[in-house]
C-alpha cells in the first residue's frame, strides 16, 4: 500500500527552526510536495521536489532524497502565523494526483 509518515505534532518558539521529516512508501514516485493548512482553510502549496537536493523558498526549504524515500520541510525564523498543519504529499503518477501524509501540527509559542 501507500504510506507517508510524518510526526503528528511539533512545538517551538518564535524565531526557532523546525524540521518536519517525511518518509514514504509508494508505488510510483514523481515528486514530493509540501502544503500548509491553517485551521478551517484549504491547503496552500509550499514547495515541490522532484530531484534530490534542497529547494529554498524564503524562510521555508524542502529537501528530498529519492534513494532514502525521505524528505523534510525546514521552517526557519518561526513566526506565530506559521502555526498550522503541514502535509507532505507524493505525486505518484502524471496528472497531479496526490497521496498525503497524516500531517504535522506545528504550534509556535511566543
Of 71, 89, 81, 88, which Cα lies nearest the Cα of 106?
81
Residue in 18, 43, 63, 84 binding other proteins, rule: CB under 8 A: 43
> Which CB sits closer to other proteins, 61 or 91?
91
87 binds other proteins per the rule CB under 8 A: yes
42/58 with CB nearer other proteins: 42
* DSSP H or E segment with residue 12: strand 9-13
**How far apart, in whole angstroms, are the C-alpha atoms of residue 39 and residue 11?**
16
Strand 60-65, strand 31-37: pairing: unpaired
User: Which position among 15, 19, 38, 41 is part of the footprint of other proteins (CB under 8 A)?
Assistant: 41
Nearest distance from residue 70's CB to other proteins, in Å? Answer: 19
Name the segment binding other proteins (CB under 8 A); options: 11-19, 40-48, 59-67, 72-80: 40-48
Residue of 91, 98, 74 lying closest to 12 (CA atoms):
74
Q: Is 31 in the site for other proteins (CB under 8 A)?
A: yes
| 87-105 residues labelled b (16+ CB within 10 A) or e (exposed) | bbbbbbeeeeeebebebbb
Residues of this chain that interact with other proteins (CB under 8 A) are: 31, 33, 35, 41-45, 48, 50, 87, 91, 95-103
Amino acid at each position: 500500500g501507500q504510506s507517508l509518515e510524518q510526526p503528528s505534532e511539533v512545538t517551538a518558539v518564535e524565531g526557532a527552526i523546525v524540521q518536519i521529516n517525511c518518509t514514504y512508501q509508494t508505488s510510483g514516485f514523481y515528486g514530493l510536495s509540501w502544503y500548509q493548512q491553517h485551521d478551517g482553510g484549504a491547503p496552500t502549496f509550499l514547495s515541490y521536489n522532484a530531484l534530490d537536493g534542497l529547494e529554498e523558498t524564503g524562510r521555508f526549504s524542502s529537501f528530498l532524497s529519492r534513494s532514502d524515500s525521505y524528505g523534510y520541510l525546514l521552517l526557519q525564523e518561526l513566526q506565530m502565523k506559521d502555526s498550522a498543519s503541514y502535509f507532505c504529499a507524493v505525486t505518484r503518477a502524471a496528472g497531479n494526483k496526490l497521496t498525503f501524509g497524516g500531517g504535522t501540527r506545528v504550534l509556535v509559542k511566543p
